[in-house]
Structure 1
Amino acid sequence: MLNLSLEKVRDFMSFEEFWTRGDIHERVNTALKDAKLLDKKIEIEDLFPLDQYHARGIKATIDLADKVNFKRDSNIIDIGCGLGGPARYFAKKFDCNVYGIDITGAFIDIGNYFNKLTQVDHKVKLLKGDGEKLPYETEFFDGGLSQHVTMNIDNREQFFNEAFRVLKKGAIFGFSEHGLGTKGNPIFPLPWADSENMSFLKTPEFTTNLLKKIGFENIKVISTGEKYISGYDTLLKQGKPDEKPTLGIHVIGGETMLERSKNSMQSIIENRTYPFEIICNK
């Protein structure tokens, strides 16, 4: 039996409530109908504006995919998969099998629904679960990814230990996050947190040293701050609520998403946060 303290259960509940504010199922269904996506065969590309729920959206996913270059028919894990957008992209690009896991049940429900709509449910399997206690066999996966998840992870060592455990020797692991900058605390609220109680940012140096301690090798850190600023700037130029596209991250994140994105961009500009990618091997 999974043994969790009451405090940790409360943390999980608060994070799930944070990520699924309001009736997310109704918002998604309404957006799909308004975009007339239920009247035709849906391709994974049709959902990019909606299901790439992280900074820079599909552009960030493509950038990460170009760096990891997974093999055909390989088994890949996506830790903190959200709605499964990146998992579907990776499955199609590399013709691989992707296993996604996320603590937010509503994301998993919607993601598996999207898998069926796009007819990739035979290649992409999404499961509700804890990234700090992965329900998979040791050395099962040929590669792994995680996009913008670790900002909400207090116990980084446990998170990366689990990633290390389930990866095969030599497997490539790529992930992205907003790291801690050098000029004070970030400006809240942010896309991933209402306050510092939900945000656990670390410097690239901290994360690199932790990965080395666990046993990861060939660690490469790539700064993504300028790309993030450009991405946020594009998002903010979408304008007033009645000018927003039918599909977009506001469908998932609600009407406060523009304010949160503005704060995130300003935090990068002021070096309060430092976004980066890491590519490494087990």
Structure 2
Amino acid sequence: MERVNRMLLEAFALYLRNEKKEESTIKLYVAELEALLTKLGERPGGLAEATTDDLLRYRNDLQAGGMKPATINKRMSIARTFFQWAGREGIADSSAAEGLRLDANAPPPIQWLSEAQERALLAAASNALTDENGVRNEALLAAMLYAGLRVKEVSYLRLDSLQGSRLVVSDEGGSFLRGVPLDDRALVPLLCWRRHRSEAIRSKHKESDFLFVTERSGFMQPRAVQFAVESLSAKAGFPVRCSALRHSYCRRLAREGASVERIRDWAGHKSPQTTVRYFEDL
């Protein structure tokens, strides 16, 4: 199948050359179609058998990954050009990529984890508790998955942000944003990490009042938080973005019967319209 797809892309590139496209444009088109092939994986038939549903899932994954609508629309336009050509050649459905352009003003789809995915991700963290960063990473997951914090809010947590069974969330300047009640799923890992943190021997850690630190710094940058979650998701066997952890927190509250007002307060949403999206299909 890989050989068939390669021949198909080469034939499409030849068509583009006959249409007087620049070589740089041809390389871009082929690269984008190879990315689509990667998404299709081992699907029987490859590009020739791709359906509108396949392309829709691909588009939605790009959107959920944070890609801008204009960039996604360029990719959909390339796919449309390919399938129109393939349709004329009798190779594929010429309409497979029709009607997939995004409204630039539409909000991205919300993605949250299934219960099975949550368990797998937490297992990946707990299996690494013997590592130097294992306890920390389990607390990172707890802060986002069971307290709904944004990545930056995790970075700016202080050692005194844990107050009883409540987590005080502040901005980078230390100004109060909100308080979040914690159940044991969040509280226990966070307390465990803070106790571990209090035993720090590195001077950079002793001098820092931030809760989360790295081996080299007394402050864990947002990108470092994201990287830690990406590493755990790789061990769990599926891609996870930090935003999906926060979405999972909000969705869980909605599923458990929390009101729009309560979820909005605990998650720190500016608009109730943001919160209402978590009640869809319940």
Please state which band the TM-score falls in when normalised by the shorter chain: under 0.3
Higher relative contact order (CA 8 A, sep 6+): 1
Structure that is richer in strand per residue: 1
Find the structure with the greater CA-based Rg. Answer: 2
Q: When the two structures are superposed, what TM-score results if normalisation uses the length of structure 1?
A: 0.26
Q: When the two structures are superposed, what TM-score results if normalisation uses the length of structure 2?
A: 0.26
